[in-house]
Amino acid sequence: MAVKLRGFLKIAFALLFALLAPRAFAEAPQPVLGKIAANPALWTVHGPKGTAYLFGSIHILPPNMEWRTPRVAAALKAADTFVFEIPMDDSTKAEIANFVRENAFLPKNLSLPTLLNDEARKDYRDALAISGVSPAALADKRPWFAALVIEVGYMGKRNLSPNAGVDRQVYADAVARGVKNFRALETPEEQFRLLMPGDRDLEIKEFDESLKDVLKDKGELGNLIDAWAEGDETRLGKLMNEGLKADPRIEKALFADRNARWVRQIAAMLNENHTYFITVGAGHLAGPNGVPAMLRKRGFKVDGP
């Protein structure tokens, strides 16, 4: 995959890293801040037997973002089954830890800095400094995993937290209510595989480009959070898909193929007598190829946003 994949991954896969956060890095103490009111989009899908609420997630947010509008709160209360991209329970932590143990480490005769040229090593040192990640923590890690650690560490320095992500909060709300029915559209391994180029040279190139992204941050993530908080699906879709049009293979792998698989699963769920609250990355719900639009094409009545 082309290197432009990285901009999407730092947002979309923060959820996976969040599940490892207690083991992988320590989040900085969050300052006490006033609440920021958000009004994110919500869709309602009516099926033959079931109803589904579709809610777009930002997987990493400021801790003071309040997105539970009355409409969202009512949908959360009405749902008896909660659906996420991947399972959110403790078993997933073990599954992710096993995958990382098997796929995130370099051979014992290699270290990450030795894979980099002089310019990339300088970028690496600078990125470690601004992200607060210890060099020792990444010396034996593969570039794909090191990039994720650095990017999420950098987000933490910007007062963004995986623990404040919508997925984590929705799951916590459901557990607190005593909900027992949870489902997932993908496995953690399926998502992590999207992070891992099969070619070592490409993996190093993507890592170098991800370092440059951190060092030349232009506030893209802040713009995306603003669009989501305003319920501006048109703007959000454009921001999430920037850079993907340059390589149709990336758009197909990250959005079109996955959305189609999810729509088939959601269509089957709507033939069951349940009320679902489905939380997936916000970019998957926006635009003519988003999940709501695809469900409409299959003949379902979709209200909203």
Crossing angle for the helix pair 14-24 and 90-103, nearest 10 degrees? 90
What is the per-residue pLDDT for 258?
A: 92
Any bridge partners for residue 55, and if so which?
42, 279
The CA distance from 145 to 104, in Å, is 6
The CA distance from 201 to 188, in Å, is 25
Exposed, middle or buried: residue 192 (CB in 10 Å: 0-12, 13-18, 19+)?
buried
pLDDT tens per residue across span 3-23: 344 455 555 566 566 655 544
What is the per-residue pLDDT for 215?
A: 92
Spans of all domains in the chain? 5-23+38-303
pLDDT at 91 over 50: yes
pLDDT tens per residue across span 20-67: 554 444 445 555 456 789 999 999 999 999 999 999 988 888 888 899
- pTM for this one? 0.88
pLDDT at 293 over 90: yes
Give the pLDDT mean for 254-270. Answer: 94
Helix-, strand-, coil-residue percentages of the chain, each rounded to 5: 55, 10, 35
Tell me which DSSP letter residue 284 carries: G
Averaged pLDDT score across all residues of the chain: 86
**Residue in 94, 53, 74, 68 with CA at minimum distance from that of residue 280:** 53
The CA distance from 173 to 158, in Å, is 26
pLDDT at 244 over 80: no
171 vs 61 pLDDT, higher one? 171
pLDDT at 79 over 70: yes
